[in-house]
Amino acid sequence: MKKITHLFFDLDHTLWDTDKNAEESLRELFHELEIGPKGHCTFEAFHEVYRSHNNRLWGLYAENKVGREAVRTHRFQQTFQDFGIDDHAGVAHLADEFVLRTPQKKHLIPGAHELLKYVSPNYRLSIITNGFRETQHIKLRESGLLDYFEHIIISEEVGYHKPDPYIFRHAIELSGAGGPENCMMIGDTLPTDVLGALNAGWKAVHYSPDGEQHPEPVITITSLQQLQELL
């Protein structure tokens, strides 16, 4: 890894524990808004259906097939519909409160602070994220991650999502990395983080806690500790 001078991290599911933070917020709101009695469902059932819609819509967002408001609102609207809940005002309130509340949560992927402390003296660090502008800075600040990074590159601000090559070229220019040979992307999503980076000429590390393996040149790690050992 002698050539690598700049490390670019995805945020959600890679450093910031999106699943744990989102589930905590949704559980609070599920009980506060008394969704269970309205939909005759448990939180576990509601959460499972919500996650399916959320993951699908985020995939469409990364492909530029839907906009941010579709992700923010439709994931809850469609979940309500699946449980027979007709409450447009409730959907709107849940969507707004979820986006306000979740970024304040502080749960991180195990080893995140340790890894960043280890690599920060020897590499220049930046974030590249497809998340929403108003939430990503809050997540970084509230979880204590912000000071590690020189640049926070958010797709909504750049106008292009990973895996579009433009966002990777933009990252090189903004960070002063010099060229793709000096850059490594670390992320949990194969199509956007890993293949996007590889197509841009970068090295790429797939954070895959479930152990999913891919052929070279993909580097696979199952924990952030493994990346620390690699670097």
CATH of 18-104, one of 3.30.200.20, 3.90.950.10, 1.10.150.240, 3.30.460.10: 1.10.150.240
Please state, in angstroms and rounded to a whole number, the distance separating the CA atoms of residues 30 and 43. 7
Q: What is the pLDDT of residues 22-46, one digit of tens each?
A: 999 999 999 999 999 999 999 999 9
Give the mean model confidence (pLDDT) for residues 221-228: 96
Kindly give the pairing relationship between strand 6-9 and strand 124-129.
parallel
Whether residue 214 is predicted with pLDDT greater than 80 in this model: the reply is yes
The reported pLDDT for the residue numbered 131 is: 84
pLDDT of amino acid 2? 66
Residue extents of the structural domains in the chain? 6-17+108-230, 18-104
Neighbours of 199 (CB within 10 A): 14
For residue range 61-80, list pLDDT tens digits in order.
888 899 988 999 999 999 99
State the average pLDDT for the chain.
Answer: 95
CATH code for 6-17+108-230?
3.40.50.1000
Please tell me the predicted confidence (pLDDT) of residue 186. 98
User: Using CA atoms, how far apart are residues 134 and 99, in angstroms rounded to an integer?
Assistant: 9
| pLDDT higher than threshold 70 for residue 187 | yes
Instruction: Give the pLDDT confidence score for residue 64 in this predicted structure.
Output: 85
| 27-33, long-range: CB < 8 A, 24+ apart | 28/101, 29/94, 29/97, 29/98, 29/101, 33/90, 33/93, 33/94
What per-residue confidence (pLDDT) applies to 1? 61
- The residue count of the chain comes to 231
Confidence band for 215, pLDDT divided at 50, 70 and 90: confident
| Alpha-carbon distances of 177 from 23, 132, 182, rounded to whole Å | 37, 25, 6
Terminal alpha carbon distance of the chain: 7
Q: Identify the burial level of 169 via C-beta atoms within 10 angstroms of its C-beta, where 0-12 means exposed, 13-18 middle and 19 or more buried.
A: middle
Whether 187 and 200 have beta carbons less than 8 Å apart is answered as no
pLDDT digits (tens, 9 = 90+) for 112-156: 999 999 999 999 999 999 988 889 999 999 999 999 999 999 998
Residue 88 structure tokens: 């447009």
